[in-house]
Amino acid sequence: MKCLPILLALIAAGCSRTANVPPGEKEPTKTGAAVLSEAGSEPDHIATEEQKARIAKLLNERLDGDMGYPFAQFANKLLANSRLHLSDGIWLMTLDRDVARAALQSPFPATYQPTLRELFDAIATQTSTAWQYNPSGKYVESDATETDKRAPTIFEFTPAQRARPFEVTLPAGWKSKDNGAFQS
């Protein structure tokens, strides 16, 4: 019963169910999440200049960076918050179960509202993924109300080898392990 108000809010926001996946394609992880792209990359695969401008503008919008949840739970929170506070609803997607379960921590001060680009880069660093805009719409069907017929904007995170932004020379006998957001 505690989930009923949340479910009703998500349905009212235009998020309803997962679309059928064409034969031969992976079933999306049931995470309430969606997104693919290299950190900082421009959405160059978008068909029109209008779409490129819309996504570029969206990526520069700011939102609360409270990331103290697993990826899938954060994605659900982001969808609800983006519907309320941004020009588009944002749906984060991953097909990787490890990414969906990855715990996120905010690298931002509590008083700072990061851009979506900064937020996605922080998520990608912590989950060892790349993110990009996914224009396919194949992961989400929307039963949006008459006042909001636009389906959520989908971004997909996929596992990827990420170049380290720095290099440290370790003393003899020491070993380094990449833990996403930090080295140990």
Mean pLDDT of the chain: 74
Q: Phi/psi at 126 (nearest 5 deg)?
A: -75, -25
pLDDT above 70 covers a percentage of the chain that reads 62
Provide the β-strand partners of residue 17. 141
Contacts of 142 (CB under 8 A, 6+ apart): 14, 15, 16, 149, 151, 152
Q: Does residue 31 register a pLDDT over 50?
A: no
Confidence of residue 84 (pLDDT cuts 50, 70, 90): confident
Contacts of 29 (CB under 8 A, 6+ apart): 72, 94, 95, 96, 97, 100
Looking at residue 27, its pLDDT comes to: 47
Amino acid present at 14? G
Q: For residues 53 and 179, which has the higher predicted lDDT (pLDDT)?
A: 53
Looking at residue 175, its pLDDT comes to: 85
| Token output for 106 | 């905010």
Looking at residue 168, its pLDDT comes to: 82
| Token output for 127 | 């989950």
Looking at residue 15, its pLDDT comes to: 42
Task: State pTM to two decimals.
Answer: 0.66
- Rounded Cα distance between 119 and 55, Å, is 15
Looking at residue 89, its pLDDT comes to: 87
- The strand order across the sheet containing 90-94 reads 90-94, 153-159, 129-133
Amino acid present at 137? G
> Helix H segments across the chain?
4-12, 49-59, 71-85, 97-101, 116-127
